[in-house]
Amino acid sequence: MTPDRQASHFKRARHARETEIIEDYVELIADLIDEQGEARAVDIAKRLGVTGATVNKMVARLKQMNLVNAEPYRSVFLTDEGREMAEASRERHHIVVALLRVVGVDEATAWADAEGMEHRCSPETLMAFKEFVKRHKS
């Protein structure tokens, strides 16, 4: 592998890690809104196992990215762009879970393992997974 190609792979991996954190927050906020009608910072922190300060920093970042609306001491809500990101992340997660189930992974393990995997796959890979599942689903 050439140095340029290797550098490209590492750059892609770094970007995927950064994107994964953002998508995890947005997806969790969507889950909380769907379940409870709102996403409070304390609930986000509890579910992610992080401090309130960490959540506040990330919410500020998500606001800058126009993914959420939030005011101090108020709930966090998704913008249209944030909702779209959450839905796309959920869709990718479901595709990876379906693939893992088709190849024989039990449901609980498939759901756990898919977390993270869906953020690292290219759109082409996810499309291939989806087509594979269609062909092999029983």
Domain 84-136 maps to which CATH number in 3.40.50.720, 1.10.10.410, 3.40.50.300, 1.10.60.10?
Answer: 1.10.60.10
Answer whether 0.85 is exceeded by the pTM. no
| Burial 27-66, CB ≥16 within 10 A → b, else e | bbbbbbbeeeeebebebbbeeeeeeeeebeebbeebbeee
Cα of 130 vs its chain's centroid, Å? 18
Q: How does pLDDT run along the chain (138 residues), one tens digit per residue?
A: 888 888 777 777 777 677 889 999 999 999 999 999 999 999 999 999 999 999 999 999 999 999 999 988 889 999 999 999 999 999 999 999 999 999 999 999 999 999 878 888 889 999 999 999 999 986
Q: Which helix (H) or strand (E) holds 77?
A: strand 76-78
The listed CATH number (1.10.10.10, 3.30.930.10, 3.40.920.10, 3.40.50.720) that belongs to domain 3-79: 1.10.10.10
- Closest to 99 (Cα-Cα) out of 85, 87, 117, 84: 117
**Structural domain boundaries in the chain:** 3-79, 84-136
Tokens 């906020």 correspond to what residue?
Answer: 29
